[in-house]
């Protein structure tokens, strides 16, 4: 059985449009638990393939890719660049340009805390 928080995270990640990015913390906040960025990382790690998540669109709050190059970081960058996302001279996504800001009228979610 999927936990409510996990389901909300999965739904929020599926909603990230092509050519946009968001951060682990922003996904956690959108899912109702702003301090659960590490839980988002765990969910991405365990559910990306099974749920068909656009995992490459979730990055660190400083715009950097959270994965080492040899463990998917290079692929993440390639996938983002294929969607038109650009990086600055420090290899960070230009958040001012590419950060996804969901509409204010998006469906609210309840504040159930992540479990486990």
For the segment 14-33, what is each residue's pLDDT rounded down to a tens digit? 999 999 999 999 999 999 99
- The answer on pLDDT for 108 being more than 90 is no
CA dist., res. 51 & res. 33, Å (int) = 21
Is residue 104 domain-resident? no
Residue 109 lies in a domain: no
Residue with tokens 């998540």: 53
Per the domain annotation, does 18 fall within a domain?
yes
Dist. CA 57–CA 82, nearest whole Å:
12
Q: How many CB atoms lie within 10 A of CB 80?
A: 21
Rounded to an integer, what distance in angstroms lies between the CA atom of residue 101 and that of residue 20? 9
Domain count of the chain? 1
Q: What are phi and psi of 88, to 5 degrees?
A: -85, -175
CATH number of the domain enclosing 70: 1.10.10.10
Separation CA 27–CA 98 (nearest Å): 15
Structural domain that includes position 24: 4-96
Of residues 2 and 56, which shows the higher confidence score?
A: 56
Does 42 reside within a domain? yes
Q: Is residue 48 part of a domain?
A: yes
Query: Which pLDDT value is given to residue 43?
Result: 96
Q: Evaluate whether residue 113 is within a structural domain.
A: no
């Amino acid at each position: 059985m999927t936990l409510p928080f996990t389901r909300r995270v999965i739904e929020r990640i599926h909603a990230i449009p092509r050519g946009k990015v968001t951060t682990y913390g922003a996904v956690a906040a959108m899912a109702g638990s702003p301090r659960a960025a590490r839980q988002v990382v765990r969910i991405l790690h365990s559910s990306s393939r099974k749920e068909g998540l656009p995992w490459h669109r979730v990055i660190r709050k400083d715009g950097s890719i959270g994965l080492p190059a040899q463990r998917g970081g290079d692929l993440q960058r390639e996938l983002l660049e294929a969607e038109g996302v650009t990086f600055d001279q420090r290899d960070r996504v230009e958040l001012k340009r590419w950060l996804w800001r969901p509409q204010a009228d998006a469906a609210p979610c309840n504040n159930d805390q992540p479990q486990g």
